[in-house]
Amino acid sequence: MTESKPKLSFIVPSLTGGGAERSMANLANELGDFGFPVDFLVLQKGGEFEKLLNDKVRLISLNVSRALTAPGPIGQYLDQETPYAIFSALEHMNVAVYRAWRGNRKKTKFVPTIRNHISRESETGGLLKKIELKWAGIAYRKATQVVAVSEGVARDAETTLGLPSGLVKVIYNPVINQNLLDLAQQKPQHSWLLQKEIPVILGVGRLNPQKDWPTLIKACVLVRATRPIRLLILGEGDLRGELEKQIAEANAGDWINLPGFCQNPFAEMANCTLFVLSSQFEGLPGVLIQALACGCPVVSTDCPSGPSEILQGGRLGRLVSVGDEKALAEAILSTLNSPFPVEKEVLMPFESKFSAKRYLEVIGLSV
């Protein structure tokens, strides 16, 4: 008789398409495929990426609107299901799970994950964010184990929150799976990507200050003075109006386009000429890994943290200083003229199966 495997649980606010949510869904799917019973908890159902979960993962709604009110339902779930381990993502959810778990529910291993720079979040956030991060520091020190998505994120968390050495393990996000590769083979949505005569530069991400789209636009204006290009930025956010104004002032509306959220950015990545990440900071930029997996040459800012780790210090793609449009323009031109070959074998640490096995190791299990 085959011994049954222990239940594993995951919790995120929702499956609305963010990088953290997508990577947690990938991880849950892989562990389900390994034969573990897997539950995936969200505050409320209805996210457009719930369909990413395969039929081996049970989706559960806590039926609350905010993480602040989630500890009660999380505690009830832990009492009823007693999973072997629960993995959480994003500071407010990490704190909510800790508040539910800290009492008499420690039969379940608590493994929160850190996905961005704590120091930068503290600098840019208000009072509520600082309170949240203080609670997060308490939660991490009490956790069974903490996982950070990059070396840079791990070291920053240790320094900023005073976490003990050895508590934080680095496991790269489970970004690459067969679903991504299959989606990359589909026809791109934007007409520019069906026309190969003019190079298309692609950026993907929320339209927010962290991604520093103004610097990418300025850099592409400089490049456009030298050769024809087009720029597509896929995503939505609060800065749309400001970016549209910047594009209009540069008289670039005929070759820069902000088409909004894209259901399948991987087909666009597979068909663009060059992918550019212009961020001021990241945890581990999944879009950079996804672009490489889709066979696309890349250029990135050398922001904290992740790009240098992913691109092996510039061996797999050019790195430039944050906020430097001239350096970014030069890197774009150089890569258009002489693209780095995409070495897909070096992407193995970012594959879902590889990452899932590492997560099992953290909680003392194996396939």
What confidence tier does 3 reach under pLDDT thresholds 50, 70, 90?
A: low
* Bridge partners of residue 42, in order along the sequence: 61
d(CA 246, CA 232): 14
Of 49-53, 96-100, 124-128, the one with minimum mean pLDDT is 124-128
Res. 20: pLDDT tops 90: no
What are the DSSP calls for 94-163, one per residue?
HHHHHHHHTTT-TTSEEEEEE-S-HHHHHHHS-HHHHHHHHHHHHHHHHSS-EEESSHHHHHHHHHHHTP
Architecture per CATH, domain 8-174+351-362, reads as 3-Layer(aba) Sandwich (3.40)
What confidence tier does 1 reach under pLDDT thresholds 50, 70, 90?
A: very low
Q: What pLDDT score was predicted for residue 2? A: 47
Mean pLDDT of 2-28: 88
Show the tokens assigned to 220: 């592409």
What does DSSP say about strands 200-204 and 230-234: parallel, antiparallel, or unpaired? parallel
Reduced to 3 states, what is the DSSP secondary structure of residue 314? helix
Domain with CATH 3.40.50.2000 in the chain: 8-174+351-362, 178-348
For the stretch 213-244, pLDDT in tens is 999 999 999 999 999 999 999 999 999 999 99
Q: What pLDDT score was predicted for residue 49? A: 82
CB 54 within 8 A of CB 29: yes
Architecture per CATH, domain 178-348, reads as 3-Layer(aba) Sandwich (3.40)
CA end-to-end span of the chain:
17
For the stretch 24-68, pLDDT in tens is 999 999 999 999 999 999 999 988 889 889 999 999 999 999 999
Q: What is the pTM of this model?
A: 0.88
Q: What pLDDT score was predicted for residue 116? A: 87
For the stretch 152-188, pLDDT in tens is 999 999 999 999 988 999 999 999 999 999 999 999 9
Residue 304 burial by Cβ neighbours in a 10 Å radius (0-12, 13-18, 19+): buried
What are the DSSP calls for 210-234, one per residue?
GG-HHHHHHHHHHHHTTS--EEEEE
Q: Is the peptide bond before 334 cis (omega within 30 degrees of 0)?
A: no
Show the tokens assigned to 285: 């930029």
Of 14-23, 62-71, 131-140, 255-264, the one with minimum mean pLDDT is 14-23
Q: What pLDDT score was predicted for residue 226? A: 96
Res. 344: pLDDT tops 80: no
Residue 225 burial by Cβ neighbours in a 10 Å radius (0-12, 13-18, 19+): exposed
Show the tokens assigned to 219: 């850099």
